[in-house]
Amino acid sequence: MYKEIVSASEQSKIKSSDFGSDFYWGISASALQTEGAHNIEGKGFSIWDEFASKRNKILNKDTPSVAADFYSKYEEDISIIKALNIPNFRLSFAWSRIIPNGTGVINRRGLNYYHKVIDACIANGIEPWVTLYNWDLPLELEVKGGWTNRAIINWFVEYVELCVREFKGKVKYWMVINEPMAIAGAGHFLGIHAPGKKGKSNFLSAMHHVALCQSIGLRTIKSIQPDAIVGTTFSCSYITPYSNSDRDRRAANRIDALLNRAFIEPALGMGYPIDSLPFLSDIKKYFQPGDEDLLKANFDFVGIQNYTREVVKASFYIPYLFAKFVPADKRKVYHTLMDWEVYPESIYEMIKKFAQYEGIPKLIITENGASFPDEMIDGEVNDRDRKRFIQSYLEQVLKAKNEGLNIHGYFVWSLTDNFEWTEGYRQRYGLVYIDFYTQKRTIKNSGYWYRDFLSK
């Protein structure tokens, strides 16, 4: 269902200056989704390289082998960021490019590549914000159990120490892990993301080890670079019940606990939300003495990544959660190509929710964007719906800021069209259109709009 957005945003009068001079404006990308060059200059395979090679795992049998070819086109892409007046660029390092087997021998060519990328950012007046882990675990570590093996804490610390020691003179802003619930849930319970594991035991062990690495990663960065600004990022969706029945409201509460509370609350010393999700009590099997304290983390900021709201109804047939999502198309509401409802108020509600926690100095929107069926017509991509989407969500961010909530930045997802995980190349989120046959870049109209918005 792709109708025009009916919104006051078409005539939106908001300006970047309305958010204050110290507000962080940026654009985001990730290594696996953009770099390509999956097996050159010493890079090892990741779990996504292996996962994409399996039949029927990725739409159209797409793979990230070439992606948006950022590996060879990083200078062009960074020059586009500069041309669009975007002062901050969130990118990620590929663990398997730096330590091909995940532990042990270092790939100096991989480190040199990221030095070139960071240097290009700095030369163009762009602040690099580095995410250390964005889902692309080295395949050799997965062979050893990956996130279900507690040894990953040591492997992760080794990787983090190397990166921070190498780049501490150039990188000030670090994010430890991108969207931990996607790692645990999609990759280790549902099996729809790499590494494709399923089941409760895989989920709970991975969940606990990711949560530990999230907090231990922070302390590792700070021990090496005390003046670093360190955060992590959480995916979050505004959850509402399908009806006002007690069953649906309880179901919505369970989904909210899983998607929005399961990782932030342990980091704040509140423990896992077992009261709302009793099946999480079995996570104690994976605890060792002192883990309660190890889970705590004093982040300088928390990145929240919001795209939509989810409507939830009770379902007897869904184990553990007894709840299911009601898709946007079934509800006949306006939605993106991902079948995610366009619901601008969701970002305001999530800022408000996270702002209620004590112990979060700053909130930053580290991802927000939309996929629509973009078309190149006469050399132009007139993605009006994406422009209106960003405008309408930014209006809600400004509402939160004007109410005194601790929101301090906004990063669009994403810089370019890219490999969108199991959706392959069908879903286009970029402000820059990629012709995946020629790798030609074309700035979409939404990109020009963002440029003009940032200049006001």
Catalytic residue IDs:
179, 367
Spatial contact of 105 and 46, defined as CB atoms under 8 Å apart = no
Q: Are strands 323-325 and 309-314 parallel, antiparallel or unpaired?
A: antiparallel
- Would residue 68 be called left, alpha or beta, if left means φ above 0 and alpha means ψ between -120 and 50 degrees? alpha
List the one residue out of 385, 401, 429 whose CA is nearest residue 7.
385
List the one residue out of 57, 61, 69 whose CA is nearest residue 29.
69
What span, in angstroms and rounded, lies between the C-alpha atoms of 339 and 394? 21
Q: b/e for 129-161, b at 16 or more Cβ within 10 A? A: bbbbbbbbbbbbbbeeebbbbeebeebbebbbe
List the one residue out of 271, 259, 168, 160 whose CA is nearest residue 211.
271
What span, in angstroms and rounded, lies between the C-alpha atoms of 291 and 239? 30
What span, in angstroms and rounded, lies between the C-alpha atoms of 393 and 369? 9
